[in-house]
Structure 1
Amino acid sequence: MTRTVYVNGEYLPENEAKISIFDRAFLMADGVYEVTSVLDGKLIDFEGHRVRLERSLRELDMPKPEAFDDLLEIHRELVRINDIEEGMIYLQITRGAPDDRDFVFPDPETTPATLVLFTQNKPGLANNPTAQKGIKVISIEDARWGRRDIKTVQLLYPSMGKMMAKKAGADDAWMVQDGFVTEGTSNNAYFIKGNTIVTRALSNDILHGITRAAVLRFAAEAQMQVEERNFTIEEAKQADEAFITSASTFVMPVVDIDGTAIGTGKPGNRALRLREIYLEESRKAAV
């Protein structure tokens, strides 16, 4: 069945959706995005994603599309039309499509922002069997630009990182800068030692994960200690458990880093419990 997508105010069959070759996301990676999960036909932490999207636009001095205040309604309509029970909605805003290629930002009065949304149907997203066996990660150099806190469409290096991991027989990669882990290619990174969760503090160096914020809040409510600080790969290898978080993986245990088994080499009880709590509480608050 052909998906219905949203492009600049219109709901269209995916094979009829088009944007200009002069769109600045295509030519300059001049765009931002968000991915919101859908469980039981409802949106998970929509408001958190909306707030972060607004911040990304503000940090890049990018105008909001006219339909910005209607985003919740648009998300819900796409879920309804495409009959999504479990999956994701991808949203992208770009600086628009001027008449020609130019490094200088176009005038927003004459070049309106481009707004695109589409759904991805992912049955079994919540009960992903990978969570019961965990994932393996490798460490790679972090060669991205400095503003990782802005969720831009500049995803070439993260994509290359995932391919490096695949070639090494792993599932993902943790990026390292100046000797310390920043984050995963599309997720935030953590380890657990005793009753303490360690993860890098928020800054321009990492994405301010929406799932990250929720999981750390739930962890504190579960009487776990949280340390937000720099840490090394070697420190993570000595941990009892490790995991990642993202809107599409929720809480995903990490069982191997650079060929070293973490803890027992199997998903740890604390990470699995955090996944259960996150899914339970997020479903309660879903819209």
Structure 2
Amino acid sequence: MEKMILNGKLVAQTEIKVDFEDRGYQFGDGIYEVIRVYNGQLFTAEEHLKRLMDSAKHIFLSVPYSASEINEQLQELVKANSLESGIIYLQITRGVSPRNHAFPNPSVDCMYIAKTKAVPRSTANADTGVNAITTEDIRWLRCDIKSLNLLGNILAKQKAAEAGCFEAIQHRDGTVTEGSSSNVSIVSGGKIITHPANNLILNGISRQVMLHLCASNDIPVEEREFTVDELMNAEEVFLTGTTIEVLPIIKIDGTVIGDGQPGQITQKLQELFSNEVERQCGVRN
């Protein structure tokens, strides 16, 4: 029987119930994280859980566990489900309370759940690259909070799906922000350019790993805003994300990027990322 975490304890999946008046269900009043598991080991768990706690603070959500306690609980969950390669999804909502837009007063206990899913590591898209579209970024102005409010992301991703593309690259008045479920970077003049980590993007953990790898390997990076025009004329474009790692984009809005093949810098980052996974979790492609 598959196990899940319910409020810090391992339980059978059949024991998980969603109350109609859970604020996550009714308002999207909560936060979440997705953590990659390789070789039965959590990858960059500390970074994910720090972001989880930061998101909680931003929405004034009291979490009754420390990051280290949650880390231990997630490791127990992975072991209980014998997960070798996959993801952990964890979600914390403000809890169950009669419907009212204001916070519950007095406050109620938050609702914390976590679940594993087996996901094999694949290099198919990584080797060939994917296509994307551009779309206006219609989301709210606190994209740095990893909240449950993802309708804007969903609508962008659906546009991409209907266009037969992997990702939708969002922009605000011509300034590129990020993908619907990933961070986006370009290579121009041999330098990686990526949007600064402010309120307009989620500071992706894989993005952070990428920046660390660049700093450690003398790959030039500039964190600044860039335009859709720069995107379309870039030498290389790539995505970073928990489940996709480093993923090349070879065509946007039907326009071929570079020579239509994954670029040298992107391929170098893929290699370095795999090395980092091996260092932390003891596994390679």
TM-score class, shorter-chain normalisation, is: over 0.9
User: 1:33 Cα deviation (Å)?
Assistant: 0.5
Rounded to whole Å, the distance in 2 between the matches of 1:170 and 1:264 is 18
Q: Is 1:118 aligned to 2:78, yes or no?
A: no
Report which stretch shifted further, 16-25 or 145-154.
16-25
Question: Residue 225 of structure 2 corresponds to which residue in structure 1?
Answer: 230
User: 1:70 Cα deviation (Å)?
Assistant: 1.5
Instruction: Pick one of 201, 206, 213 that aligns with 2:201.
Output: 206
User: 1:214 Cα deviation (Å)?
Assistant: 1.2
Rounded to whole Å, the distance in 1 between the matches of 2:2 and 2:136 is 38
Rounded to whole Å, the distance in 1 between the matches of 2:102 and 2:76 is 35
Structure 1 residues 191 and 67: CA distance shift in structure 2, 3 A: closer
String of CA shifts for 1:159-194, please: whole Å, max 9, x gaps.
111110111121110011021011000111101123
Structure 1 residues 69 and 110: CA distance shift in structure 2, 3 A: farther
Question: Residue 16 of structure 1 corresponds to which residue in structure 2?
Answer: 15
Instruction: Pick one of 147, 155, 160 that aligns with 2:155.
Output: 160
Q: Is 1:148 aligned to 2:143, yes or no?
A: yes
Question: Residue 37 of structure 2 corresponds to which residue in structure 1?
Answer: 38
After TM superposition, list the pairs within 5 Å mapping 1:1-287 onto structure 2: 2-66=1-65, 69-98=68-97, 100-107=98-105, 110-123=107-120, 125=121, 127-286=122-281
String of CA shifts for 1:178-235, please: whole Å, max 9, x gaps.
2101100011110112320011111100001111111011112222111111111221
Q: Does the CA-based 8 Å contact 1:97-1:111 persist in structure 2?
A: yes
Rounded to whole Å, the distance in 2 between the matches of 1:53 and 1:86 is 22
User: 1:141 Cα deviation (Å)?
Assistant: 0.7
The alignment partner of 2:76 has SS state of: helix
The alignment partner of 1:204 has SS state of: coil
User: 1:87 Cα deviation (Å)?
Assistant: 0.7
Report which stretch shifted further, 272-281 or 66-75.
66-75
The alignment partner of 1:51 has SS state of: helix
Rounded to whole Å, the distance in 1 between the matches of 2:278 and 2:59 is 32
The alignment partner of 1:73 has SS state of: helix
* TM-score using structure 1 length: 0.94
Rounded to whole Å, the distance in 2 between the matches of 1:216 and 1:69 is 25
Q: Does the CA-based 8 Å contact 1:137-1:257 persist in structure 2?
A: yes
The alignment partner of 1:102 has SS state of: coil
Amino acid in the other structure paired with 2:116: T
Instruction: Structure 2: give runs of 5+ residues left out of the alignment.
Output: none
Q: Does the CA-based 8 Å contact 1:45-1:286 persist in structure 2?
A: no
Instruction: Structure 1: give runs of 5+ residues left out of the alignment.
Output: none
User: 1:68 Cα deviation (Å)?
Assistant: 5.1
The alignment partner of 1:230 has SS state of: coil
* TM-score using structure 2 length: 0.94
User: 1:67 Cα deviation (Å)?
Assistant: 6.5
Rounded to whole Å, the distance in 1 between the matches of 2:225 and 2:86 is 33
